[in-house]
Amino acid sequence: MRVQFVPQKAELSLRNPENLILVENSEDSVVIRAARDNFSERKKVSFIRYLAAEGFISDEFQGFGKSGSRRTTSISWVVDQDPLKCESAQLKRADRFMIQLFISASALWLALMVFAFLHSAR
């Protein structure tokens, strides 16, 4: 029997489809937490096989979803809505920062232009 190291927790950020994933491993189960419910059943099976191939979960899941595959641990897929609220608050804070940065940069540019104009008139 081969001993395999899998991380207790792994965070992944996906672009297509856009999602935040948290994989939690324990001795008898694997929990995959997603921020959005945008995976079809087929994509979930494919993603679980990818996680097994990359070492995020046990190798025993490489045949997940195929007929005749045996698993000793259970896997569950959970959609959490809380990260979406945090993401919204972070976006608002980033927008506020960018607006303040733009106004400050504009004021500095205007002050430099006035300074340059006054000193070039001499």
Q: Is the pTM of this model over 0.85?
A: no
What pLDDT is attached to residue 37?
85
Percent of the chain having pLDDT more than 90?
23
Label residue 101 by pLDDT band (50, 70, 90): very high
User: Residues 69, 117: one domain?
Assistant: no
Residue whose entry in the numeric block shows the structure tokens 């897929």: 77
User: Structural domain of residue 46, as residue ranges?
Assistant: 9-80
Instruction: Count how many domains the chain has.
Output: 2
The type of residue at 11 is E
Please write down the HEC assignment for all residues of the chain. CCCCCCCCEEEEEEECCEEEEEEEECCCEEEEEECCCCCCHHHHHHHHHHHHHHCCCCHHHHHCCCCCCCCCCEEEEEECCHHHHHHHHHHHHHHHHHHHHHHHHHHHHHHHHHHHHHHHCC
User: Residues 17, 65: one domain?
Assistant: yes
Task: Note the pLDDT tens digit of each residue in 39-85.
Answer: 889 998 888 888 888 888 887 877 776 655 555 568 888 987 665 56
> Does residue 17 have a cis bond before it (omega within 30 degrees)?
yes
Percent of the chain having pLDDT more than 70?
82
User: Residues 60, 70: one domain?
Assistant: yes
Higher pLDDT, 117 or 85: 117
What pLDDT is attached to residue 104?
97
What pLDDT is attached to residue 74?
84
User: Residues 103, 115: one domain?
Assistant: yes
Question: With 50 as the cut, is the pLDDT of residue 1 above it?
Answer: no
What pLDDT is attached to residue 88?
72
Measured CA to CA in angstroms, residue 74 lies from 26, 50, 65 at distances of 10, 17, 13
Q: Are 12 and 21 in contact, with CB atoms under 8 Å apart?
A: yes
